[in-house]
Amino acid sequence: MSSTSESLQIFVQFCQQHIKGDEKGETQTFLDRFFRAFGHEGVLEAGATFEERIQKGSKKGKTGFADLVWKPRVLIEMKKRGTDLSKHYSQAFDYWQRAVPNRPRYVLLCNFDQFWIYDFDTQIDTPIATILLKNLPDQVSAFGFMEKRQQNPIFQNNQVEVTEKAARRMGELLLSLKKRKIDDLVAQRFVLQCVLAMFAEDRGLLPDSLFIRCVQDCLNGESSYDVIGRGLFQEMNRHGQTQSGRFKVVEYFNGGLFATVDSLELNKEELKILETSALLDWSQIRPAIFGNIFEAAIASKERHSYGIHYTSEADIMKIVRPTISRYWEERIEAANTIAELNSLTLELQNYRVLDPACGSGNFLYIAYQELKQIEQKLLDKIAERRRSPREQMQIGFVTPLQFYGIDSNPFAVELARVTLMIARKVAIDRLGLKDPALPLDILDQNIVCKDALFTEWPEADAIIGNPPFLGGKHIRLNLGDDYVDRIFQQYPEVKDSVDFCTYWFRKAHDHIQQKGRAGLVGTNSISQGKSRIASLDYITQNGGYIHEAISTQPWSGEAKVHVSIVNWIYQEPTAYYLDNKPVKQINSALTSLTDVSKAVRLLANQNKCFQGVIPVGKDFIITAEQVEKWIEADPKNQEVLKLFSMGANLAQYPHGLPDRWIIDFNEMSLEDASDYTLPFAWVKTYVKPERDKNRRKVTQLNWWKYGEERPSMRKAIAPLSHYFTVPRVSKWAIFIPAPIDWLPGDLNIVCASDDFYILGILTSQVHRLWVKAQSSTLGETTRYTHNTCFETFPFPQTPSPKLKLVEKIRAAAVSLHEYRRQIMEQKQWGITKLYNTYFNEPASQLYKLHQNLDNLVMEAYRFTAEDNILEKLLNLNQELAEKEKQGEAVVGLMAPF
């Protein structure tokens, strides 16, 4: 059963007759009846929860309680009748953000008379629908998520859709002007002048329909330069108010944007684009995403073939709220005297925010809107303490002049300035402020076009933003040798191959000083390896505390990019949040686990685990048909033709069976390699031309050899019956046995052992926990690195009386291997599908075999379930390292005897 007009009308009448709007006393009655109106037996019967505990969701850092949570559909927060719901969206947002896992899609704010529906994934501070209780039966389509059989809701206020249309149209206009060879600066300035004019028209800063009439007059034959440029735009830059004529009552806009009006005539096609755009409702445009979409629209040469990605407001809020909003909310709540509140007012007036990679200004825009909301909370509390009407209080004092940005892209800088100009009027309308909207602030000194890495940053209390995503290996290729040399000269302490964004993290930490706060987005490798040392290690080792972070997530602003979001301060925080959950600490690896980054690489483990060969030349790889022909031509060729094992094979195919072959001359001389006529001729024909272009002279010279032949690995595995291997990047990081005649590629990690006791240790939860803490991530998968994951790992130092335990672990590993082999062969699955299907199923044989193995390995270490395993392993690592320093032998990659 679903809702009907009758059931909805019965609910409305019940509320009108019996509900007085008491938040504490009537919320559950109201909501239970609300659920019944949509065909449910009641709240609890539908699977929803009253008073859902949101850990540390309250402003004071204590446990909060959302009135109702129905995962994954909706979170409902009730307020008493008459409450201004606009003042409570930030609390609802915080509850929603913390309601993980399986976070509800929608949030409903209700004061018993109004329903405000939010979709925070698309738009933050503005409801996607606002519906009066009395109109519920007529507007029920917006509540599709409430139906017993869930339906797609239909909303009337989808501002994202309007914004995308507007940004695309203006992108088309700019591209058209550029195609006509109009100077870039002239074209960009004109388009941005039009953007601001259309926004001003629909927000009431220009007379109604003035701009669209100007465009239509030009379509009817008038000069666009005379009407729009020399006409409207010049009037917008004239002091005072135009007193007569076509542009009567046009106000002075200032802002610097209209100081120059270029002699530019639009053709008919361009005027049509402008007319289409002007007919949209620009009061519904979301400036926080407009710039991103606009830039993407003009940057993509095939913008109709590729989806346009923009940074969502919800993602930006993961920086702005922890770094700015909550800090101020807590201080306002803690202030109780007029003197304390006045002191906060003075401080807020002088508060400065910097985005040193500002792009089109989306982070600055959201930060401005949040600070205006903070300003109003502060003024409300002052009025409450003074017992004076809020209307008599002063106008707002937070202005765009408190916001600063740096970017190396001139057009992005102009976009950012316009975005902040627009922000002021949006805040006035949204919050019902009496602040003057005009003239606009001149932001030329606030938002500047410079290289942030070689520019002195302005003073700031908060630094936020999204520095460029560029992997360390790509910086030289993309930015050139001279630029890299400048970076190394500017930052001599960081000369390794680190991600580009790490320099912003270092500079931000040095800049905020003792009382500042910072929040930046970086590629998720900032918590890994050399990039971590250069960024998050630097922060935590120099007085910084990471208080809120997202360890890794897909980034809304760019396809196929996974990021980490990091907020930090100098003072030790009272609460920590990692991935929206409260934790006791956050380390530089962005985990709450014991920080194992200081573990020592043990001598006993060195030269036992390796990365596979790196051919450097795709045409070393050949087909099975070629192998068959070459061996038939000369059986000797079989000596240099190997099955080539790659990470994907290990993960996807039964037993990890390779699906390709490779030519391998290993360390042969040129003369010896040429004895294998057909393989040698192939390499000379197809590999050598590619190697001739390689920058490394030794790689050019030895064109028939691999870039990395791994002689130590080959020597280590040569006497074995098999070796153990794992994909360098995988979800589960599970080792499997591999035959010696499989040549492991660079996406494989090889363990030089054939003892199933060792496989048991490496497969155990103990080792996998260590790997998780030590390894880096690539997207949402794990990167197993032999030097950090394996060489630091302390194997059990099991004494001789426990040798029976060694046999038990060996037998358990054999049983697990046999089970996996049987299931993979039977179902033709790879190891990944096997573990995806059964590993987390307690009733499965895979689960039970792992439990048995884990228990035995825990016993070998003498660990208990109550122990902090990582802490114990780290202590053991330190103990073994000290023994090695003293010349004592320790157990590494071998069974203890």
Neighbouring CB atoms inside 10 A of 553's CB total 18
Q: How far is CA 886 from CA 251, 391, 460, 724, 796, in A?
A: 82, 77, 51, 31, 19
Counts of helices then strands in the chain (DSSP H, E): 34, 26
| pLDDT tops 70 at residue 624 | yes
CA 570 to chain centre: 24
| Residue pLDDT, tens place only, 106-122 | 999 999 999 999 999 88
Domain ranges of the chain: 5-146, 159-285, 312-449, 467-592, 602-608+753-897, 614-719
Tell me the Cα Rg of the chain.
32
Q: In this structure, are residues 454 and 490 in contact, taking their beta carbons and an 8 Å threshold?
A: yes
Distance CA 824, CA 816 (A): 12
> Which pair of tokens denotes residue 376?
């109003």
| Residue pLDDT, tens place only, 569-582 | 999 999 999 999 99
Amino acid, single-letter form, for residue 808? K
Strands 661-663 and 729-730: unpaired
Distance CA 46, CA 126 (A): 28
Strand order in the sheet with 722-727: 609-611, 748-751, 722-727, 736-739
Report the alpha-carbon angle 48-54-55, nearest 5.
145
Confidence of residue 310 (pLDDT cuts 50, 70, 90): low
Q: In this structure, are residues 104 and 74 in contact, taking their beta carbons and an 8 Å threshold?
A: yes
pLDDT at 56: 58
Report the alpha-carbon angle 789-792-793, nearest 5.
75
pLDDT at 87: 86
- Specify the range with the lowest mean pLDDT, choosing from 108-112, 355-359, 389-393, 443-447: 389-393
Distance CA 716, CA 786 (A): 15
pLDDT at 649: 87
Confidence of residue 197 (pLDDT cuts 50, 70, 90): very high
**Higher-scoring residue by pLDDT: 615, 532:** 615
| pLDDT tops 50 at residue 301 | no
> Which pair of tokens denotes residue 896?
């203890």
> Which pair of tokens denotes residue 865?
């379930």
| Residue pLDDT, tens place only, 669-711 | 999 999 999 999 999 999 999 999 888 899 999 999 999 999 9
**Higher-scoring residue by pLDDT: 420, 396:** 420
Determine the length of the chain.
897
What HEC string does 267-327 produce?
CHHHHHHHHHHHCCCHHHCCHHHHHHHHHHHHHCCCCCCCCCCCCCHHHHHHHHHHHHHHH
Q: In this structure, are residues 893 and 752 in contact, taking their beta carbons and an 8 Å threshold?
A: yes
| pLDDT tops 90 at residue 357 | yes
| pLDDT tops 70 at residue 820 | yes
| pLDDT tops 70 at residue 275 | yes
| Residue pLDDT, tens place only, 336-347 | 999 999 999 999
- Specify the range with the lowest mean pLDDT, choosing from 97-111, 195-209, 303-317, 848-862: 303-317
Instruction: Name the CA dihedral angle for 51, 52, 53, 56, rounded to a multiple of 10 degrees.
Output: -100
| Residue pLDDT, tens place only, 13-25 | 999 999 999 888 8
Share of the chain above pLDDT 90, in %: 73
What HEC string does 414-469 produce?
HHHHHHHHHHHHHHHHHHCCCCCCCCECCCCCCEEECCHHHCCCCCCCEEEECCCC
| Sign of the Cα pseudo-torsion (277, 278, 284, 287, in order) | positive
pLDDT at 779: 57
Beta-bridge partner residues of 581:
578
| Residue pLDDT, tens place only, 232-244 | 999 999 998 888 8
Mean pLDDT of the chain: 91
User: What would the mean pLDDT of 153-169 be, rounded to a whole number?
Assistant: 87
Distance CA 108, CA 99 (A): 14
- Specify the range with the lowest mean pLDDT, choosing from 315-329, 348-362, 554-568, 682-696: 554-568
pLDDT at 309: 53
Beta-bridge partner residues of 78:
110
DSSP of 843-880: TSHHHHHHHHHHHHHHHHHT--TTS-HHHHHHHHHHHH
Distance CA 210, CA 231 (A): 12
Domain 5-146 -> CATH class: alpha beta
User: What would the mean pLDDT of 581-601 be, rounded to a whole number?
Assistant: 88
Distance CA 616, CA 691 (A): 8
pLDDT at 305: 31
Q: In this structure, are residues 752 and 723 in contact, taking their beta carbons and an 8 Å threshold?
A: yes
User: What would the mean pLDDT of 197-222 be, rounded to a whole number?
Assistant: 95
pLDDT at 155: 87
| pLDDT tops 60 at residue 230 | yes
Distance CA 62, CA 575 (A): 9
pLDDT at 308: 45
pLDDT at 481: 86
pLDDT at 555: 84
Q: Is residue 1 classed exposed, middle or buried when 0-12, 13-18 and 19+ CB atoms within 10 A define those classes?
A: exposed
pLDDT at 297: 64
DSSP of 644-712: EE-HHHHHHSGGG----EEE--TT--HHHHTTSHHHHHHIIIIIHHHHTT-S-HHHHHTTTS-SB--HH
Measured in degrees and rounded to the nearest 5, phi and psi for residue 595 equal: -75, 110
CA 590 to chain centre: 13
> Which pair of tokens denotes residue 536?
């998050």
CA 428 to chain centre: 31
Distance CA 753, CA 743 (A): 15
Confidence of residue 778 (pLDDT cuts 50, 70, 90): low
pLDDT at 57: 45
User: What would the mean pLDDT of 91-103 be, rounded to a whole number?
Assistant: 91
What HEC string does 791-821 produce?
CCCCCCCCCHHHHHHHHHHHHHHHHHHHHHH
**Higher-scoring residue by pLDDT: 302, 466:** 466
DSSP of 524-591: GGGGSHHHHHHTHHHHHTTT-EEEEEEEEEE-TTSTT-EEEEEEEESSPPS-EEETTEEES---TTS-
User: What would the mean pLDDT of 587-599 be, rounded to a whole number?
Assistant: 86
In angstroms, how far apart are the furthest CA atoms of the chain? 103
Distance CA 588, CA 592 (A): 9
pLDDT at 221: 93
Run of H or E residues at 89: helix 89-98
pLDDT at 306: 33
Q: In this structure, are residues 514 and 570 in contact, taking their beta carbons and an 8 Å threshold?
A: yes
pLDDT at 596: 85
Strands 729-730 and 781-783: antiparallel
| Residue pLDDT, tens place only, 639-667 | 999 999 998 888 888 888 899 999 999 99
pLDDT at 772: 86
**Higher-scoring residue by pLDDT: 361, 802:** 361
The strand ranges marked E within 31-70 are: 49-54, 64-70
| pLDDT tops 90 at residue 798 | no
pLDDT at 61: 53
Confidence of residue 361 (pLDDT cuts 50, 70, 90): very high
Strands 576-578 and 581-583: antiparallel
| Residue pLDDT, tens place only, 731-753 | 899 999 999 999 999 999 999 99
pLDDT at 3: 84
Q: Is the pTM of this model over 0.95?
A: no
Looking at residue 221, what DSSP letter applies? Answer: T
User: What would the mean pLDDT of 488-504 be, rounded to a whole number?
Assistant: 88
| pLDDT tops 60 at residue 856 | yes
The residues near 553 (Cβ < 8 Å, ≥ 6 apart) are 562, 563, 565
Q: In this structure, are residues 525 and 776 in contact, taking their beta carbons and an 8 Å threshold?
A: yes
